[in-house]
């Protein structure tokens, strides 16, 4: 009887140890699974962030490209809302028009500079345009004349229009002329009345964004030789 009891006790101890080992292995497996799941989410977030950044950077290039060349100089220096429409497409001639946003107050410009996406969507300034977000732009027909705050990115080659979709994502851009004060303007364009004639160095804030989620900006300086040249 003592031998049988001892054997049963040993078996019970063995089962208990096995159960504890099983619990430990289960906990370890669950921990590893959580680690793998977290790593997968981090990787996915990095890929998504990279995709959005690439979209915004690409849109910047078109916004900058629109200021190249002397054609339509007045419309490169003075805002014209009709140019902020989907029917303003790249031309094979290279004589392109930018989407130049309407003039802002100093406080509006500060907010726009720090939060370009939410500013155009939420600030009353955005009411100057019938569509204030990239998604609003995307919902319009390709030849729409509606005045929009964000122009769709179509690439840099008028012969080969870039077609985007929900899978690749959508990119948008706009621009704003930064007008310096009188003293700064005189330092950059010392000739009297040069700026009024479209002659000298002009500065523009270019904004690009991807899917209304991430925005990027650049500032360019462009030299023009005047409205009469």
Q: Does residue 14 sit in helix, strand or coil? A: helix
Could you read off the pLDDT of 114-167 as tens digits, one per residue? 999 999 999 999 999 999 999 999 999 999 999 999 999 988 777 766 667 777
Could you read off the pLDDT of 68-124 as tens digits, one per residue? 988 999 999 999 999 999 999 988 888 999 999 999 999 999 999 999 999 999 999
Q: What rounded mean pLDDT belongs to the chain?
A: 85
Distance of CA 111 to the CA centre of its chain: 16
Reported confidence tier of residue 5, pLDDT bands at 50, 70, 90: low
Q: How far apart are CA 113 and CA 116, in angstroms?
A: 6
Q: Residue 225's pLDDT is what?
A: 86
Q: Which residues lie below 8 Å from residue 178, measured CB to CB, with a gap of 6+?
A: 203, 204, 205, 219
Q: Residue 45's pLDDT is what?
A: 74
- The owner of tokens 């977000």 is 133
- Does the pLDDT of residue 207 top 80, yes or no? yes
Q: Indicate yes or no: pTM above 0.85.
A: no
β-bridge mates for residue 204, sequence order: 177, 220
């Amino acid at each position: 009887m003592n031998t049988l009891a001892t054997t049963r006790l040993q078996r019970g101890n063995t089962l208990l140890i096995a159960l504890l080992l099983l619990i430990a292995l289960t906990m370890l497996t669950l921990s590893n699974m959580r680690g793998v799941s977290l790593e997968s989410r981090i990787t996915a977030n990095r890929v998504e962030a990279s995709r959005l950044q690439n979209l915004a950077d690409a849109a910047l290039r078109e916004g900058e490209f629109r200021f190249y060349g002397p054609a339509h100089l007045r419309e490169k220096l003075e805002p014209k809302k009709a140019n902020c429409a989907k029917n303003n497409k790249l031309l094979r001639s290279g004589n392109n028009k930018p989407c130049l946003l309407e003039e802002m107050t100093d406080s509006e410009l500060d907010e726009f500079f720090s939060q370009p996406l939410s500013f155009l969507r939420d600030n009353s300034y955005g009411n100057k345009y019938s569509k204030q977000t990239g998604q609003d732009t995307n919902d319009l027909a390709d030849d729409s004349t509606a005045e929009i705050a964000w122009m769709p990115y179509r690439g840099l080659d008028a012969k080969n229009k870039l077609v985007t979709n929900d899978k690749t994502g959508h990119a948008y851009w706009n621009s704003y002329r930064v007008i310096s004060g009188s003293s700064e303007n005189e330092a950059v364009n010392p000739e009297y009345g040069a700026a009024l004639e479209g002659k000298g160095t002009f500065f523009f804030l270019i904004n690009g964004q991807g899917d209304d989620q991430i925005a990027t900006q650049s500032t360019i300086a462009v030299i023009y030789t005047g409205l009469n040249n």
